[in-house]
Copies of this chain bind each other. A is one copy, B any other.
Amino acid sequence: MPGLRGLFIPGPTNVPDRVRRAMDIPMEDQRAPDLPQFTLPLLEDVKKVFKCKTGQAFLFPASGTGGWEAALTNTLSPGDKVLAARFGQFSHLWIDMCIRLGLEVDVVDAPWGEGVPVDVFAQRLTADRAHKIKAVLVTHNETATGVTSDAAGVRRALDDAQHPALLFADGVSSIASIDFRMEDWRVDIAVAGSQKGFMLPAGLAILCVSPKALAAAASAQSRRCYFDFADMARANKDGYFPYTPPTHMFRALRASIDLLNEEGLDHVFARHHRLAEGVRKAVQAWGLKLCASEPRWQSDTVSAIFLPGPMGSRSVSASPRWRAASSVSAIWAISMN
């Protein structure tokens, strides 16, 4: 295929040349005496991208899905209740994981094209006097539908209900691209994947975890080993890892965070917004319709559109189904029938 290959899908995103170069290195000794000089500041700088201050960053060799599993198994016990909304493929899959890991899920279904129904969450939390709900799950950016949810609103709902549940956010397709404020919103675990806003290849689950969530690990009965926060924290404290880490990905992450900081996170967010506005204007001009039903839901990283005609009707799976047409800050086609 002639020419430069760029991806216009919802992820993985294109890896900048500087990041590619940063990971094109010989393998390193994972126990080198000077490795901590590199890893300790890196872990601190990951936190800044999440706007996390009091918590701790974790880097697991895994996909974002592994990050979800780490969040759930480290803080909850089988039988624990979680509150979650389903309004797209990824929020659906996270709920599915909860069930398979033995959790009880209070599922709030919302139309695909809308985000977390904060008012319904508020009712459920207020009604939950016994505090059976141990965690609230927010898919901050639903990649399947191009919808950004109001995570700050969910925090307010928790506060208004004086509810002690943990707040988990799936920021795989938002963090580092859309404003995300771990500390302000008191998110307890936020999950990102290397292959979206961090502009790396897939293979790294990037998490920030609040002290409250870390404390919850002490009593959480879910079985875990590979994704255990305590093992990782013990080794990370000195700048090392409990098993062979993908150090080339860490070098790439260093380059990616440097790129983000050089541009400035606010400028990065503004850039994604500007590009998304262009995409939305084009979609409108073409007479097409965004899946995100209202401006407040429109994601600045993914724009999903309904496909008219045969492309749409070719969809065969049940319930909303989608078809890749574009990328972060671009277009993503969805068809409902």
Contact = CB atoms under 8 A, between A and B. Distances in A.
Which 7 interchain pairs have the tightest Cβ spacing? A203-B246, A65-B243, A12-B27, A202-B244, A63-B243, A69-B226, A202-B246
26 contacts: A2-B271, A4-B17, A11-B244, A12-B27, A12-B247, A14-B26, A14-B27, A15-B26, A15-B27, A17-B25, A20-B24, A29-B324, A61-B61, A62-B66, A63-B244, A63-B246, A65-B225, A65-B242, A66-B226, A69-B225, A78-B223, A195-B244, A201-B247, A201-B249, A202-B246, A223-B223
Interface stretch (A95-103, A109-117, A183-191): A95-103
A6 interface: yes
Interface SS of chain A: helix, strand, loop or mixed? Answer: loop
A165 interface: no
A195 B20 contact: no
A307 B11 CA distance: 40
Contacts of A223: 78, 100-102, 222-223
Interface string A1-27: 011111101011111110011001111
A106 interface: no
A153 interface: no
Contacts of A249: 201, 203
A29 B2 contact: no
Given A4-B26, A9-B29, A69-B226, 14 more contacts: A7-B29, A13-B27, A14-B27, A27-B195, A61-B61, A61-B66, A62-B62, A62-B226, A65-B243, A102-B223, A201-B248, A202-B247, A203-B249, A222-B223
Interface residues of A, number: 61
A7 B17 CA distance: 14
A88 interface: no
A259 interface: yes
Contacts of A65: 225-226, 242-243
Contacts of A55: none
A323 to B, nearest CB: 9
A257 interface: no
Contacts of A242: 65
Nearest to A13: B27
Given A24-B21, A61-B63, A101 B202 contact: no
A171 interface: no
